């Protein structure tokens, strides 16, 4: 199919759907959607004069764990904190040492590998799959050494990693798995939810993520002892006998004496990563709307893929296997050669379609100082970081908005088709 055929196909598709698009509507990456239920829960927390974690944080944790097939969820103040605490808990409980290694993908948000450094360990990078953008499980074993202790697969953009082979590799080599699921919620891989495969799973509720509390994160696990250790670590490493201001209420006299003697005791080297009732209230309200939020994202992504399919000569669109869900936190795109990515994304931005690069990691200035020029050793990650980008498909956008996005792409390729195809 030629470029002109593509453009004619797109024009016909728009005519058949009879969709009117709004040229002025910004297509943002994320949205703050504070509805009636969110306001009701937050106001109730304020009326109770309660900011420390209580009723709402507890309900949010329990419901979130249940929705992801886990026994426990521990709320904290960010997805990065969740990752840092998860690795710290495993390092302490498993007796790992400074300088031990953790495998991470070579394409991810920088927090994934930063938390390895925070914990005094060494990130070892693994190249990614060219189609899913997740860690390439076929390359993991080549990076394992006698000092490797864990794997952190990242469920990027809303798509679960290939967790069966990753789990098999981890079991074969005696490694722990921490799922970085900060961009993916409620998605299942072969019928099992993200966050339920590894020793610990980590999520984010930051602005522009799937559930939004402003700041916030969660750790999921089936291991009661790890959950308790994580709760202690987010509260300065406090003795687990007193992790909440409610822990000395409704107890016997003997229990109270024991709590009083230990409640200002710190038994781990911890952090100040607690969350408040306000974030808990927002999180619970958002969680109760999850079908609306995730459902519209998926409808938007499906529509956008259909609208952009005539341009697959120019664009690599998202793909995922039939046994995996996709939450579509964002909509990832890769500009094919010889499309000029910078020119394309500048055109999109000029038309109020917000973009971001697809997670360049090893080319970051700080990482070049720390690790040197190693990006070339990971060709797929290098290609994607140089040619990939993403746009929004959040639930406050509509299928009509997705048609408008496709119209902007069509306009770009219509005006630049010759140059894109290498013609003069």
d(CA 237, CA 243): 9
**pLDDT (tens digit, 9 = 90+) per residue, 111-135?**
999 999 999 999 999 999 999 999 9
Regarding beta strands 331-335 and 217-221, do their DSSP bridges make them parallel or antiparallel, or are they unpaired?
unpaired
**With 60 as the cut, is the pLDDT of residue 347 above it?**
yes
CATH code of the domain in which 167 resides: 3.40.640.10
CATH code of the domain in which 362 resides: 3.90.1150.10
d(CA 375, CA 107): 10
Neighbours of 12 (CB within 10 A): 11
Identify whether residues 234 and 366 lie together within a single domain: no
Q: Say what the pLDDT of residue 314 is.
A: 96
Identify whether residues 360 and 245 lie together within a single domain: no
Domain boundary among 221, 256, 287: 287
d(CA 139, CA 129): 10
Q: How confident is the model at residue 420 (pLDDT cuts 50, 70, 90)?
A: low
**pLDDT (tens digit, 9 = 90+) per residue, 72-109?**
999 999 999 999 999 999 999 999 999 999 999 999 99
Please enumerate in sequence order all residues whose Cβ is within 8 A of that of 282, keeping only pairs 6 or more positions apart, or say none: 34, 38, 41, 42, 205, 212, 213, 214
Q: How confident is the model at residue 158 (pLDDT cuts 50, 70, 90)?
A: very high
d(CA 11, CA 414): 11
Domain containing 372: what range?
A: 3-32+290-420
**With 80 as the cut, is the pLDDT of residue 18 above it?**
no
Copy the structure tokens of residue 47.
């009326």
Torsion of CA 19, 22, 25, 26, to 10 degrees: 60
Identify whether residues 69 and 53 lie together within a single domain: yes
Higher pLDDT residue, 372 or 19? Answer: 372
Query: Per residue in 223-260, is it b (16+ CB within 10 Å) or e — as a string?
Result: beebbebbbbbbbebbbbbbbeeeeeeeeeeeeeeebe
**With 70 as the cut, is the pLDDT of residue 422 above it?**
no
Q: Say what the pLDDT of residue 17 is.
A: 39
Is 154 within 8 Å of 134 (Cβ atoms)?
A: yes
Q: Where are the strands (E) in 143-293, listed by range?
A: 148-151, 176-180, 188-189, 192-193, 200-204, 217-221
Domain boundary among 250, 267, 287: 287
Q: How many CA atoms lie within 13 A of 166 on its CB side?
A: 26
Identify whether residues 230 and 91 lie together within a single domain: yes
Identify whether residues 135 and 261 lie together within a single domain: yes
Identify whether residues 360 and 249 lie together within a single domain: no
Identify whether residues 280 and 298 lie together within a single domain: no
The structure's pTM equals: 0.92
**pLDDT (tens digit, 9 = 90+) per residue, 20-69?**
444 458 999 999 999 999 999 999 999 999 999 999 999 999 999 999 99
Burial class from Cβ neighbours inside 10 Å (0-12, 13-18, 19+) for residue 53 reads buried
- Please state the domain count of the chain: 2
Domain boundary among 236, 253, 287: 287
What average pLDDT does the segment 361-371 reach?
Answer: 98
What average pLDDT does the segment 180-202 reach?
Answer: 98
Q: What is the mean pLDDT of the chain?
A: 93
Burial class from Cβ neighbours inside 10 Å (0-12, 13-18, 19+) for residue 127 reads buried
**With 50 as the cut, is the pLDDT of residue 244 above it?**
yes
**pLDDT (tens digit, 9 = 90+) per residue, 376-394?**
999 999 999 999 999 999 9
Q: How confident is the model at residue 418 (pLDDT cuts 50, 70, 90)?
A: low
Identify whether residues 369 and 335 lie together within a single domain: yes
Identify whether residues 66 and 168 lie together within a single domain: yes
Please enumerate in sequence order all residues whose Cβ is within 8 A of that of 141, keeping only pairs 6 or more positions apart, or say none: 169, 173
Identify whether residues 128 and 276 lie together within a single domain: yes
Identify whether residues 220 and 168 lie together within a single domain: yes
Q: How many angstroms separate the Cα of 193 from the Cα of each of 68, 73, 220, 260, 297?
A: 5, 14, 11, 40, 18
Residue with tokens 């999850």: 290
Q: Say what the pLDDT of residue 353 is.
A: 98
Identify whether residues 275 and 295 lie together within a single domain: no
């Amino acid at each position: 199919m030629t470029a002109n055929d593509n453009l004619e196909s797109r024009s016909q598709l728009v005519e058949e759907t009879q969709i009117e698009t709004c040229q002025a509507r910004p297509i943002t990456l994320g949205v703050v959607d504070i509805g009636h239920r969110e306001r009701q829960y937050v106001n109730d927390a304020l009326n109770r004069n309660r900011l420390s974690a209580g009723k709402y944080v507890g309900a949010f944790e329990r419901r979130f764990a249940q929705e992801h097939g886990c026994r426990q969820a521990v709320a904290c103040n960010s997805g990065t904190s969740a990752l840092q605490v998860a690795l710290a808990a495993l390092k302490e409980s498993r007796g790992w040492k400074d300088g031990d290694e953790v495998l991470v993908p070579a394409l991810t948000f920088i927090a994934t590998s930063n938390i390895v450094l925070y914990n005094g360990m060494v990130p070892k990078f693994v190249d990614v799959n060219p189609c899913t953008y997740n860690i390439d499980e076929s390359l993991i074993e080549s990076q394992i050494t006698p000092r490797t202790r864990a794997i952190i697969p990242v469920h990027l953009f809303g798509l679960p990693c290939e967790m069966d082979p990753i789990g098999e590799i981890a079991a074969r080599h005696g490694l722990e798995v921490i799922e970085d699921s900060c961009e993916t919620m409620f998605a299942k891989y072969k019928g099992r939810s993200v966050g339920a495969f590894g020793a610990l799973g980590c999520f984010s509720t930051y602005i522009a993520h799937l559930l939004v509390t402003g700041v916030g994160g969660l750790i999921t696990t089936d291991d009661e002892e790890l959950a308790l250790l994580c709760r202690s670590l987010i509260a300065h490493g406090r003795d687990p006998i007193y992790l909440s201001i409610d822990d000395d209420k409704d107890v016997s006299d003997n229990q109270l004496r024991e709590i009083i003697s230990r409640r200002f005791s710190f038994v781990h080297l911890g952090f100040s990563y607690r969350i408040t009732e306000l974030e808990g209230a927002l999180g619970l309200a958002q969680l109760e709307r999850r079908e609306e939020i995730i459902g519209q994202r998926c409808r938007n992504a499906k529509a956008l893929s259909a609208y952009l399919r005539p341009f697959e000569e120019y664009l690599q669109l998202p793909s995922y296997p039939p046994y995996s869900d996709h939450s579509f936190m964002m909509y990832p795109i890769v500009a094919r050669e010889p499309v000029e990515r910078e020119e394309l994304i500048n055109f999109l931005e000029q038309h109020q379609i917000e973009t971001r690069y697809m997670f360049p990691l090893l080319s970051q200035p700080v990482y070049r100082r720390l690790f040197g020029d190693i990006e070339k050793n990971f060709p797929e990650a290098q290609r994607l970081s140089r040619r990939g980008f993403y746009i929004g498909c959040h639930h406050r956008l509509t299928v009509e908005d997705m048609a408008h996005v496709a119209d902007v792409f069509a306009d770009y390729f219509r005006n630049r088709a010759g140059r894109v195809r290498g013609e003069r």
